[in-house]
Amino acid sequence: AQSVTQLDSQVPVFEEAPVELRCNYSSSVSVYLFWYVQYPNQGLQLLLKYLSGSTLVESINGFEAEFNKSQTSFHLRKPSVHISDTAEYFCAVSVANAGKSTFGDGTTLTVKP
């Protein structure tokens, strides 16, 4: 079975500061990795994903994540955050081609002015 650990439940940062949200996973087989974002009173939205190929993946709004197989990690980073990035972020893992995803407990990112 797969599992996901998001190492920080809450991350407060100031606007324009860099941020890293940490995610470790456990699996004995090949996996796909995902980051989702959930804004208040909304559903989750897929932010970025690693399926294969380049270990560095990027989103359209400046986030990036790097798949590190040796450390079983998929940390999410952004060099300069905005107030509008305030949301809850979920890391998820699924067995390659299996469909079902297992989610971490989420990290609440709060960007302060």
- Exposure string of 29-56, with b = 16+ CB inside 10 Å and e = fewer, is eebbbbbbbbeeeeebeebbbbeeeeee
Print the binding letters for residues 44-83 with other proteins: x by CB under 8 A, - otherwise.
xxx--x-x--------------------------------
Distance CA 34, CA 14 (A): 25
Among 7, 8, 95, 110, binds other proteins (CB under 8 A): 95
Q: Which residues would be at the binding site for other proteins (CB under 8 A)?
A: 32, 34, 36, 42-46, 49, 51, 90, 94-106
